[in-house]
């Protein structure tokens, strides 16, 4: 080293080095913003109180951030803030994805006692750009200099030492001071750069002698000019971290700043030395900015990283396969927060319901709006009992994700409690291809169906209440109660103002309306005979199908006949499944038509003033629920529209979130209930119109025993053991049922997408039967036909199916709709009946024809058609199996779901509220009072 005798030490200018760092950071930020439009590094500077010295430091940091391109937010908090309030504020900042760095300006200028160590440790280690969180200090202590953040002043000191060019490795380093902010972390950094380090403090004996041994001397003791030339080894590098004000009559302020080292003396001995000011100080701010940019770069990398790091849950396969509930209970699910992290969902984007399921906030769509979406699949089934469709969905996703290392999501509907307690016992899939925890999936989940029930019945309750109040009050009394005077003021609510606008009344003062305008505003004048809105219940209850309401004396004789339908048949459930966000949800709710007035005009939920209240009830229900498969792959559960009446698909919101999360090379397998004639046709013609999605492939689920039934086999009754024809080889019966499968394949191909047939195997099937089914599928134009055993082997039993799906999704996209929306309603019905069902024509009753004309006149003729038809046959007769042709399809009724966005032709008799059988599943259901374990799900 040089610098002995009369030579003068070279200055290590922190100002200069910081300027060079700043220029590099400006370039880094510009690159980030170019790669991710709309992205900007964010720094939150939290200040409690208003100390002027703190204000000076904060202004300096904000100025530096602005020059670099960092969005600095000065979070000013009052002196009166409590510790709990400050912790809450920090929690919100920790969860804000736009904030990449958080610093809490010390000291805290607070009236209330606040633990500064607790506050420091409450800043997320991932945003702790000061490097003061215990986690980051611990990383430094064990030599992890990469994964966290290094404290700013010590890191700045290291940068200056490196600028000197003096080797650190092998040097003798002495650090004067052991504060956790400077001295101790500086010693750790020197140690991990292979210097031999001595830490001195106030109790160290012969401090000057210890200091004199240093090749590198770092001083941080807070004592002005304490270190003299005699303490410094000739040629040493001296880093002065101190900044102290001492009297100086020559200065206008009466004082000047000096360090802990006597600079004038030391510069004659040292080889390199930092000045004060202009040495370590500027480096501290520069390193703070560097850490903030580093945090932003890490966040950007997470944002751009599409490949998941799924921790697969291994299966312990058993033969024979135990019951579904036994299999489900044999697997311990991952914590849902871990699963969310694996698939790229941020902590502020999930709302946990316990540790096994969580709602995903729709804000994730905003964050990922620039990311390209994935391949989109729809899966269907021709089986009468739905056997195999959920199981195959889970099986192929487990295969894609856990065995093929592809990003893959399953999007399925929430099951209704009606079938769960009635005949089905659960809808989570089966065998080793299930959603877990099974009990939580099948029972309530996160309460979405209850929210739909409450919103539906609120609208029904106020509809009847409004009819009652209009019949029992004068025009003036009705108006005065609708727009009351409160605290001397009278005003229209937001939704009432919408009604005024609809009526063409451009007034805002309730007192300014004429009597005629008051009457038009207050009276909906509902024709009771046209009321279509019914109450709903999530229980199979046959005695609510047709009821009389208003029989209490308090209702003054205003009775009417109505009824209940199942909750999943509510138009609100269909709206929940078809909306894209909260604004779209509110718009669709507002359009619900509940009746007509006496002039034949539609009466809507908005007219009743119920839109906002219903939306509030659905504010959590609009968020899909994150769960997992038996192998730990992600599943989104959302909505549950009744497939016979509504479109029978899981939600657009869930699909959109899944498509963004899996990225452009991933796969989303989404649900379409029942067969191609119902679920697939509605998925394509209704859901895809509103979502804008263009599916890449169809997975058609088929089973030997289902096709035997379509070939003329004995009637299949839930709960009754299968007849011998279904459990023994019968190629002749199977061959007779093949036309049904061929029709489903043909239906899929009409939409321009490749059809992959998944042959869902059962233990009673034979190889010859599988071979026959596979051959027929390929001859009918299926892209691939694959024999699957995912029920018994999980994802491993569907790897060949996964390969077929991947290959199908790589084909050129040729998706098309079956019909154009400008086609007349009757022609749309006819098109579906002929193309999807095989009918020769449709038969429309005079009453249906009148409704067609009325709906068309009201402007609803350009809506898609949602056929309400039995799932047990391609025709409208559930007893007709196979693939009938040439029949006439009867359209017996017509309903309108304006909010959902479709017209519903009723084919034959459709039961909208099932009843309980003689021996429903409730007989087998129980809960252990000690363990909480549930029996009866299977």
Catalytic residues: 61, 105, 130
Closest Cα to residue 324, out of 250, 221, 419, 427?
427
Q: How far are the Cα atoms of 438, 602, 653, 861, 900 from residue 584, in angstroms, in the given order?
A: 32, 20, 11, 21, 11
CB neighbours (10 Å) of residue 322?
14
Tell me the angle at which helices 515-522 and 494-502 cross, rounded to the nearest 10 degrees: 110
List phi, psi (to 5°) of 670.
-115, 160
Closest C-alpha among 843, 806, 473 to residue 666: 806
- Alpha-carbon span 528 to 97, nearest angstrom: 52
Closest CA to 843 of 908, 910, 902, 897: 908
550 contact partners, CB below 8 Å, separation of at least 6: 464, 468, 557, 558, 559, 560
Is beta strand 375-380 parallel, antiparallel or unpaired with respect to 697-702? parallel
Q: Is 928 exposed, middle or buried (0-12, 13-18, 19+ CB in 10 A)?
A: exposed
In 3D space, the residue among 591, 881, 875 whose CA is nearest the CA of residue 715 turns out to be 881
Integer Cα distance of 433 and 443 in angstroms: 19
The b-or-e profile of 246-270 (16+ CB within 10 A means b, else e) is eeeeeeeeeeebbbbbbbebbbbbb
- Please state, in angstroms and rounded to a whole number, the distance separating the CA atoms of residues 128 and 122: 9
Are 432 and 630 in contact by the 8 Å Cβ rule? The answer is yes
Largest distance between two CA atoms of the chain: 114
CA–CA separation, 99 vs 43, rounded Å? 6
Strand-pairing partners, residue 593, are 604
Provide the token pair at 856.
């068309």
Dihedral (CA of 224, 229, 231, 236) sign: positive
Spacing of C-alpha 173 from chain mean position: 52
Task: State whether residue 721 is helix, strand or coil.
Answer: coil
């Amino acid at each position: 080293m040089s610098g002995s005798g009369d030579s003068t030490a070279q200055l290590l200018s922190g100002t200069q080095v910081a300027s060079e760092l700043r220029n590099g950071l400006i370039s880094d930020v510009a690159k980030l913003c170019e790669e991710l439009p709309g992205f900007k590094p964010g720094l939150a500077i939290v200040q409690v109180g208003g100390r002027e010295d703190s204000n000076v430091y904060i202004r300096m940091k904000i100025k530096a951030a602005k020059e670099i391109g960092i969005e600095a937010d000065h979070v000013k908090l009052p002196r009166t803030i409590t510790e709990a309030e400050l912790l809450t504020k920090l929690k919100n900042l920790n969860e804000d994805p736009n904030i990449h760095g958080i610093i809490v300006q010390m000291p805290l200028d607070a009236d209330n006692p606040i633990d500064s160590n607790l506050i420091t440790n409450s800043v997320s280690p991932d945003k702790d750009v000061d490097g003061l969180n215990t986690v980051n200090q611990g990383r430094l202590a064990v030599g992890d200099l990469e994964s966290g953040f290094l404290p700013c002043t010590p890191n700045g000191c290291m940068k200056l030492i490196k600028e000197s060019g003096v080797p650190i490795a092998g040097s003798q380093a002495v650090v004067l001071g052991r504060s956790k902010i400077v001295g101790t972390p500086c010693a750790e950094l020197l140690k991990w750069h292979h210097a031999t380090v001595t830490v001195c403090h106030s109790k160290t004996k012969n401090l000057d002698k210890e200091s004199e041994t240093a090749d590198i001397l770092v001083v941080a003791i807070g004592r002005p000019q304490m270190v003299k030339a005699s303490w410094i080894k000739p040629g040493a590098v001296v880093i002065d971290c101190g900044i102290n004000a001492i009297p100086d009559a020559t200065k206008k302020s009466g004082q000047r700043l000096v360090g802990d080292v006597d600079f004038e003396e030391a510069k004659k001995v040292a080889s390199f030395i930092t000045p004060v000011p202009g040495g370590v100080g500027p480096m501290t701010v520069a390193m703070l900015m560097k850490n903030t940019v580093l945090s932003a770069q890490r966040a950007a990398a997470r944002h751009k990283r599409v490949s998941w790091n799924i921790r697969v849950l291994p299966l312990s396969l058993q033969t024979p396969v135990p019951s579904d509930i036994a299999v489900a209970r044999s697997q311990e699910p991952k914590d849902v927060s871990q699963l969310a992290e694996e698939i790229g969902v941020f902590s502020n984007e999930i709302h946990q319901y316990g540790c096994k399921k969580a709602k995903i906030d729709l804000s994730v769509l905003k964050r990922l709006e620039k990311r390209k979406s994935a391949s989109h699949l729809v899966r269907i089934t021709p089986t009468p009992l739905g056997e195999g469709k959920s199981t195959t969905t889970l099986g192929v996703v487990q295969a894609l994700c856990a065995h093929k290392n592809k990003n893959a999501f399953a999007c399925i509907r929430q099951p209704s409690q009606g079938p769960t307690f009635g005949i089905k016992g659960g809808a989570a899939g089966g065998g080793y291809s299930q959603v877990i925890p099974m009990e939580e999936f099948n029972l309530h989940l996160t309460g979405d169906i209850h929210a739909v029930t409450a919103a539906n019945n609120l609208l029904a309750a106020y509809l009847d209440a409004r009819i009652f109040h209009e019949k029992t009050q004068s025009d003036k009394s009705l108006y005065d109660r609708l727009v009351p005077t409160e605290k001397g003021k009278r005003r229209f609510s937001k939704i009432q103002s919408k009604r005024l606008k609809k009526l063409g009344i451009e007034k805002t003062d309730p007192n300014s309306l004429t009597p005629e305008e008051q009457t038009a505003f207050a009276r909906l004048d509902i024709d009771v005979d046209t009321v279509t809105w019914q109450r709903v219940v999530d229980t199979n209850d046959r005695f609510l199908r047709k009821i009389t309401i208003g029989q209490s004396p308090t209702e003054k004789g205003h009775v009417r006949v109505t009824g209940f339908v199942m909750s999943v048949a509510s138009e609100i459930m269909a709206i929940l499944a078809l909306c894209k966000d909260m604004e779209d949800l509110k718009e669709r709710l507002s359009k619900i038509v509940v009746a007509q007035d006496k002039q034949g005009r539609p009466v809507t939920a908005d007219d009743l003033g119920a839109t906002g209240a219903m939306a509030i009830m659905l504010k959590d229900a609009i968020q899909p629920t994150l769960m997992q498969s038996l192998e730990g792959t992600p599943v989104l559960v959302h909505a549950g529209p009744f497939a016979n009446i509504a479109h029978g698909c899981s939600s657009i919101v869930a699909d959109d979130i899944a498509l963004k999360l899996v990225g452009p090379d991933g796969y989303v397998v989404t649900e379409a209930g029942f067969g191609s004639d119902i679920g697939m046709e509605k998925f394509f013609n209704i859901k895809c119109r509103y979502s804008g999605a263009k599916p890449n492939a169809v997975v058609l689920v088929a089973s030997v025993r289902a096709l035997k039934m379509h070939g003329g086999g004995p009637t299949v009754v839930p709960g009754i053991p299968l007849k011998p024809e279904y459990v023994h080889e019968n190629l002749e019966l199977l061959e007779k049922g093949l036309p049904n499968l061929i029709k489903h394949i043909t239906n899929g191909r009409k939409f321009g997408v490749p059809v992959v047939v998944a042959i869902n195997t059962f233990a009673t099937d034979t190889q010859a039967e599988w071979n026959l089914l596979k051959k027929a599928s390929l001859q009918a134009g299926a892209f691939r036909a694959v024999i699957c055993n995912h029920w018994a082997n999980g994802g491993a039993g569907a790897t060949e199916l996964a390969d077929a799906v991947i290959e199908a999704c790589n084909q050129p996209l040729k998706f098309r709709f079956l019909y154009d929306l400008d086609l007349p309603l009757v022609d749309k019905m006819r098109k579906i009946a002929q193309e999807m069902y095989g009918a020769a024509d449709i038969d429309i009753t005079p009453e249906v024809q009148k409704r067609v004309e009325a709906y068309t006149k009201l402007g609803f003729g350009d809506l898609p058609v949602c056929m309400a038809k039995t799932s047990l046959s391609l025709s409208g007769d559930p007893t007709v199996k196979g693939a009938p042709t040439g029949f006439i399809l009867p359209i017996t009724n017509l309903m309108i779901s304006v909010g959902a966005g479709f017209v519903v032709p009723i084919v034959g008799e459709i039961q909208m509220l099932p009843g309980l059988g003689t021996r429903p599943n409730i007989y087998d259901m129980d809960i252990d009072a000690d363990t909480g374990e549930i029996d009866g799900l299977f």
